[in-house]
Structure 1
Amino acid sequence: MTAEPDVPQETSSCFARFSDVQKSYDGETLVVKGFNLEVRRGEFVTLLGPSGSGKTTCLMMMAGFETPTHGEILLDGVPINKLPPHKRGIGMVFQNYALFPHMSVAENLAFPLEVRGMSKEEIDSKVANALDMVRLGEFGDRRPGQLSGGQQQRVALARALVFEPELVLMDEPLGALDKNLREEMQFEIKRIHQRLGVTMLYVTHDQTEALTMSDRIAVFNDGIVQQLATPEALYEAPENAFVAYFIGENNRLNGVVKSLESSEEYCTVSLDSGEEVKALPIAISAIGERTQLSLRPERVRLLATESNGESLPDNVFTAEVKEVIYLGDHLRTRVSVCGSEEFIIKTPNADGYPVLKPGQSLRVGWDAQDCRALDA
């Protein structure tokens, strides 16, 4: 399956913009390099990348806690580089919640409203609405220390939304939660986003979190956006090796481009192990160039040992089963094939799929369109 290309965005719909933004802390090393991003009004955009890739620095520059070394940041068309954080009208949610422990939940939510000089009646109404929105209507009198981690994160989210900002920034907000709570909060945040239509800029290093929640994802590495696309496009159509291996699981096969005809859709790669593979050329340009093939484990088919008239994929090889891991809804099988001892195949735990055992020999195959020839 090949993802549809992104539809070009309308400049007029842009709400938050980074324009050629750079950031250096020592005057020499750039932690953010020529960052350009347009976030549409009402969009949920995630900055995804490993630790130290520059994503949090970009969020802090939008919030006003860091100043760009070069470039411009605009909010609704207005440059905000020199605007202090409290005048930007941006909601912020941190990983450590940043709640006032000596205040009740309701007082925590009331604080940003009091700073803005609202009346008590208006404050009480907005606090009640915000608590109901995160399903904590009965918890207003409690202190943060009396709440669970998930409840505290809901309060932090409510506080960021209570004054009805047009933009909410979130920096690894679910990192301190356990797996079940984190998954619950992912859907909670997405539900609130869809209900309110507020613009959200979200930072995480968790790929599943980004795929679950985002309209678009900017994948960071070494201060540079490697690819900006929808979750489906990033997973199905990565543009380089870093994106392919950072988003989801991949089988990697190394080789040299043997044929690359402009008249043909696919190329042929001679693997280091000697086999030849037909693949989709993505980030290669010439015959003789080194390449790394990317193939998702769920795209590999298990084939009958003997030909029985079934339609075969473009690439067919004999593999040996090394390990089978039961993961509930699917099986993760490690095989030796094409010179790789770490080649993974994912199959549903369902009727119609064979039960494999270590040492077993089998035929496997995949279509050329599912195998992407990327930079080495």
Structure 2
Amino acid sequence: MNESLQQERHDSAREVPSDTPPPFARFINVQKSYDGIELVVKGFDLDIHKGEFVTLLGPSGSGKTTCLMMMAGFETPTHGQILLKGNPINDLPPHKRGIGMVFQNYALFPHMSVSENLAFPLEVRHLSKSEIKQKVARALAMVRLEDFGDRRPAQLSGGQQQRVALARALVFEPELVLMDEPLGALDKNLREEMQYEIKRIHADLGVSMIYVTHDQTEALTMSDRIAVFNDGVVQQLAAPETLYEAPENAFVANFIGENNRLYGEVTEMVGEKCLVRLDSGETVQAKPVAAGGIGARTTLSLRPERVGIVLDSQSPGFDNCFHAEVREVIYLGDHLRTRVSVCGNDEFILKTPNAQGHSSLRPGQSVEIGWSSSDCRALDA
């Protein structure tokens, strides 16, 4: 991302309309270096509003967990400010921030029962025994573990342990909860179950949450907004549907969901369309998003479900139509995943509902496929 765009986002992150309530938590031009030379977080700006679920999403080493640890107080920013309810917290120790934290490895005390684990953060806050008992019971009910208070962590399944860890983070009623890849150790079914469980609890309590993951499906399922990280920089910050439908650059398009890519050079700009001469020789009409000017190299991004198979007069009109050769057809119940060779790309994917009558497609078959120019986004090279 170029410096002017990064500065523009930095400036816009500070502009708050007069009728908008102040952000509950803020990162303002935050940078972090561990060796004093290389920045692992570069000019991070983010406003988090009361009750919002924000996910920091990106590959390993992109800086997302470092940002979470700085908010928690386990790391200190090299530059910039972190605010909580309008107050700077850079120098405030973790135990004075009043923030709940859930880790991937649960971090439960193995020698304590579930109830004792939940009571611990209340005891250090010097609450009365009756109040502790009441809050522990409420937290157990919240995660549907009312009958497990006397068990030790070793007697629980992975999903149950994660519920206890979540309950412990919520038991003292924090206004902000941080989660560092909390579902990474669970199997697929448990992970999906816990995603909806966390989302339910978030909706019930109205607590603000910052969630770190590298799992795009998890982020899309749970978040109000997602910040996509790469190399210490937020590439795009938006609602899940915006990130998927309108990625601003090639990295976001490739990282969020499945994506077909074609490469070429812009040859003409016509209103809200551009013409791109592909490396394989074909010309494609596309929507210029971050394509640069005429002569610039560009990556075309196209979602598999936006590609159609042309079936005579029944098919919708497409701006772009090409002959393709079917390489592979996989039946996935509600849809077919078809791999074709087209425009010099042997890994071009179509996703078509199985009700459309395409189940007769076979490897080696020639078909005509097409797509709209509005669904084909011309991005950076």
Contact 1:241 1:374 (8 Å CA) reproduced: yes
Deviates more, 1:202-211 or 1:279-288: 279-288
Separation in 1 of the partners of 2:104 and 2:84?
24
- Per-residue deviation at 1:311? 3.7
Q: Secondary structure at the match of 2:346?
A: strand
Q: Which residue of 2 aligns with 1:347?
A: 352
Give 1:181-196 correspondences, 5 Å limit: 181-196=190-205
Please state if 1:359 is matched with 2:359. no
The separation in 2 between residues aligned to 1:49 and 1:236, in whole angstroms, is 18
For 1:129-150, what per-residue CA distance to the aligned partner results, in whole angstroms no more than 9, with x for missing partners?
Answer: 0000000000000000000000
Structure 2 Cα separation of the partners of residues 70 and 190 of structure 1: 33
Amino acid at match of 1:279: A
Does the CA-based 8 Å contact 2:318-2:372 persist in structure 1?
Answer: yes
**Structure 1's 333 and 9: CA in aligned 2 closer, same or farther, altered over 3 A?**
farther
Distance in structure 2 (CA, Å) of the matches to 1:353 and 1:113: 60
Conserved in 1, the CA contact under 8 Å of 2:309 and 2:315? no
Q: Does 1:81 align with 2:90?
A: yes
Deviates more, 1:320-329 or 1:207-216: 320-329
Partner Cα distance (1:354, 1:219) in 2: 36
One of 57, 77, 89 as aligned partner of 2:66:
57
Question: Root-mean-square deviation (CA), in Å?
Answer: 1.3
Q: How much does 1:325 deviate?
A: 1.4
User: Retained in 2: the 8 A contact 1:321–1:333?
Assistant: yes
> Which digits, 9 at most, give the CA deviation of each residue in 1:283-332, with x for residues without a partner?
0221010001000000000112xx43744210000100001112222211
- Cα deviation for residue 351 of structure 1 reads 5.1
Question: Within 5 Å, which residues of 2 pair with 1:83-162?
Answer: 83-162=92-171
Distance 1:10 1:228, change over 3 A: farther
Q: Bigger CA drift: 329-338 or 115-124?
A: 329-338
Q: How does 1:1-376 map to 2 (within 5 A)?
A: 12-261=21-270, 264-304=271-311, 307-308=312-313, 310-350=315-355, 352-376=357-381
TM-score, length-scaled by structure 1: 0.95
Partner of 1:66, secondary structure, is: coil
Contact 1:42 1:197 in 2 (8 A): yes
Asked if the contact 2:292–2:380 (Cα under 8 Å) also holds between the matched residues in 1, the reply is no
Q: 1:118 and 1:49 mapped to 2: Cα distance?
A: 39
AA aligned to 2:192 is E
User: 1:168 deviation in Å?
Assistant: 0.1
Distance across 2 between alignment mates of 1:83 and 1:265: 50
Look up the equivalent residue of 2:368 and give its one-letter code.
Answer: R
Question: Structure 1 vs Structure 2: percent identity of aligned residues?
Answer: 77
Post-superposition CA distance 1:110-157 (Å, at most 9, x none): 000000000000000000000000000000000000000000000000
Q: Pick closer, same or farther for the CA change 1:71–1:53 going to 2, 3 Å.
A: same
- The residue number in structure 2 matching 1:3 is none
Q: Which residue of 1 aligns with 2:6?
A: none
CA distance in 2, matches of 1:375, 1:215: 27
**Residue pair 1:13, 1:41 contacting (<8 A) in 2 also:** no
Gaps of at least 5 residues in structure 2 are 1-15
What SS does structure 2 have at the residue aligned with 1:14? Answer: coil
Matched position secondary structure for 1:308: helix
Count matched residues.
366
Q: CA deviation at 1:9?
A: 10
